[in-house]
Structure 1
Amino acid sequence: MSERTTTTIRDVVNILDEHKGTLEGMLGVKMNYNPQSVKLIEEKLEEHFPKGRQVAPQVAIMLGAYLGEVIKRNVKKASVCWEEDREDIFETTLAVETEGQLYQLKPLIRVHKFLNHDRSDTLWAMYCMTQDLVHGRLSMDAGDAWKASPRGYQYRMYRPK
């Protein structure tokens, strides 16, 4: 999945802002960084990219940047910032720090996996999980088994090694 590039996540977000009208036209969803837009985009992705059809990495990068920006702009109880990975843009993380806890999310990988592999690991669940983490409704514990959240979505966490 490596996408070696000199493009930074900031570049991707700027390109997204410049060309989101094209994506809005294609998906029929207003991309205004509102959390509800994530749910709508997810539904439209199901229609436009049926399961089993490989999707270009650029689509996952753009929509992953959008998902990360929705989280960044709407999670108010935490410090949220992008952390670049210059070797593989997909490995770029969204660092979420709250009350001394640091969580690292990978929205570009989440979108890529959603589009090309596993539709059960939803984009909306990543947004909800982030909100639940910063509000103390989920806790990080040992192990990486899938768990059910209080809201009913499945999640798993990894402790840094």
Structure 2
Amino acid sequence: MAPTSGGYVSGSREAWPDLEPPRMSRDAPRPATILRVADALEAQGGEVLELFREVESEEGSAVFPIHLRKGGREFFIEVETGRWSRQVEQSVLRRVSILRSSAVGGRDTSVLVLSSYPIPEVVCALVGTDPRTLVQLDLYLPTSRDPEGLSEEFRRAAGRALGTRIETSPEYLPLVEEFVLGPSGEPFPQFLDGSALALGAYLGETIRRAVESSERFEGFTVRWERSGESGSQEVLVVSGGAADGTFELDPMGKVRAFLENGERDSLAFYAGYVLDALREEAARDAQE
């Protein structure tokens, strides 16, 4: 007989605080387990609306094992009986991403993941309804690897979560900061590495484009380069000025500090300081 687990739950627990995780046999056939879990959830007051509910969005289609209603709120429920692998993580999060971008997957829709094995931290971090979670879900599997592409993906994802258009421009950095910090003014505790990398790319692109698009920075060029011993760290290399010097900016490192310290390591202040310094030097060079 397969070992039985009391069940692990992740997702919108606040929407169903008294939920008792159904008992699930590890590595048991998934279809039969889904039926038993559905019965157990109905016994706790849930109303199953549909089994194997298909959801469609621009990202594709996904099937959720259980779609139910409890207390006037709708739940889309994922059921996993096997061990978690990278492939299973990606499959579950892709389905959640499709749901969140669909007509039925708004913030009033809850997602629960029920599992017979402990649920990976990355899945726990990305199945909630916090807007910052939705951005990270969009960035979990980015299609770009270069800073310019990552910056654009962050810009689009943040704009969707905020419901407004965001440009790659310094005046939008305070809005981005406020969004990342949230109402508490503290950095999101589960801001994943991929999302931090995309935010760093957005910060760097904001500086690079500001320099390249204005005559007030005449004589300076800014470009992305790989740095570090392994060549894996993207930095901005600033060249020019009367001394024809070169120095590096580390927007990725600045984002890591911001996520740790919040407003004390403001991204907007950092970008403003860099741009003001370059602008002043360009003005001095023009007078000489």
How far is 1:129 from its partner? Answer: 1.6
* Residue identity in the other structure for 1:80: V
Moved over 4 A (4+): none
Bigger Rg, structure 1 or 2: 2
* Corresponding residue number in structure 2 for 1:53: 189
Instruction: Measure how far apart 1:88 and its partner are.
Output: 6.3
Instruction: Say if 1:83 and 1:92, in contact at 8 Å, map to a contact too.
Output: yes
- How far 1:118 moved relative to its partner? 4.8
The corresponding residue for 1:95 is 237
Higher relative contact order (CA 8 A, sep 6+): 1
- Is 1:122 the counterpart of 2:266 in the alignment? yes
1:125 positional shift:
1.6
Gaps of 5+ in 2: 1-141, 282-288
CA 1:52–1:118: 2 relative to 1, 3 Å: same
| Aligned residues with identical type, % of pairs | 26
Distance 2:221 2:238 in 1: 6
What is the CA–CA distance in structure 2 between the aligned matches of 1:10 and 1:56, rounded to whole Å? 16
Count of residues in correspondence between the two structures: 129
2:227 counterpart residue number: 85
Matched, 1:35 2:170: yes
Deviations 1:71-115 (Å, cap 9, x if unpaired)?
1111141200011137364x3210112311323111011112211
Q: Which amino acid aligns with 1:44?
A: F
Task: Report the Cα distance in structure 1 between the residues aligned to 2:231 and 2:190, rounded to whole angstroms.
Answer: 19
Normalising by structure 1, report the TM-score: 0.66
User: What residue identity is the alignment partner of 2:265?
Assistant: D
Aligned-residue offset at 1:117: 3.6
Q: Relative to structure 1, is the Cα distance of residues 85 and 28 closer, same or farther in structure 2, using a 3 angstrom cutoff?
A: farther
Q: Deviations over 1:101-139 (max 9, x none)?
A: 3231110111122113453111012211221221236xx
Q: Which runs of 5+ in 1 are unaligned?
A: 1-6, 138-161
Q: CA RMSD in A?
A: 2.8
- Alignment match, 2:200: 64
Structure 2 residue identity aligned to 1:39: P
Cα deviation per residue 1:12-61 (whole Å; 9 max; x = unaligned)? 42244256432212244533112111111011111078347142111110
What letter matches 1:134 in structure 2? L
Q: Aligned equivalents of 1:97 and 1:65: distance in 2?
A: 19
CA contact (8 A) 1:27 1:41 kept: no
TM-score, structure 2 as length reference? 0.39
Which protein has the bigger strand share? 2
Q: Aligned with 2:227: secondary structure?
A: coil
Q: Secondary structure at the match of 1:135?
A: helix
Q: Return closer, same or farther for 1:98/1:41 CA change in 2, 3 Å cut-off.
A: same
Aligned to 1:132: 276
